[in-house]
Amino acid sequence: MPRLSEMVPPPVTKGLLRAVFGLPGPVKRLITGAPVRRDGQRLDLDAQLLLLMTRLEGGRLGAPTVEEARRGLQRGQSYLDRVPARPVRTRDVDANGVPARLYTPKGLPEGSPLLVFYHGGGWVIGDLDTHDTVCRYLAVHAEVRVLSAAYRLAPEHPYPAATDDALTAYEYAVANAGNLDADPAAIAVSGDSAGGNLAAVVGVLAERKPDFALLFYPATDMTARRRSRELFGDGFYLTDDDMTWFSGHYCPDEERRADPAASPLLAEDLTAFPATYLVTAGFDPLRDEGEAFARRLEEAGVPVALRRQDDLFHGFTNMWSLGGRFQEAMSEAAGALRTGLYAGPRQRS
Give the pLDDT confidence score for residue 74 in this predicted structure. 85
* Structural domain spans, the chain: 78-342
User: What mean pLDDT value characterizes the chain?
Assistant: 93
Of the listed 131, 141, 249, 314, which one is catalytic? 314
**pLDDT tens per residue, range 68-126:** 999 988 888 777 877 898 999 999 999 999 999 999 999 999 999 999 999 999 999 99
Q: Are 46 and 324 contacting, i.e. CB atoms less than 8 angstroms apart?
A: yes
Q: Is the full-model pTM beyond 0.85? A: yes
Query: What is 80-109 written as a DSSP string?
Result: S----SS-EEEEEEEETTEEEEEEEETTPP
**pLDDT tens per residue, range 140-156:** 999 999 999 999 999 99
Of the listed 112, 193, 247, 263, which one is catalytic? 193
Q: What Rg do the C-alpha atoms of the chain give, in angstroms?
A: 19
Listed in sequence order, the residues at least 6 apart from 146 whose beta carbon sits closer than 8 Å to its beta carbon are 102, 103, 114, 115, 116, 117, 135, 138, 139
pLDDT category, 7, cuts 50, 70, 90?
low
**pLDDT tens per residue, range 34-67:** 999 999 999 999 999 999 988 876 666 777 889 9
CATH class of the region 78-342: alpha beta
Spacing of C-alpha 83 from chain mean position? 17
284 is catalytic: yes
Of the listed 284, 288, 311, 321, which one is catalytic? 284
157 is catalytic: no
66-78 and 10-21 are packed helices; what angle lies between their axes, rounded to 10 degrees? 60
Distance CA 149, CA 166 (A): 7
Helices (H), the chain: 4-7, 10-21, 25-32, 45-57, 66-78, 132-142, 161-175, 194-205, 227-231, 240-250, 287-299, 324-342
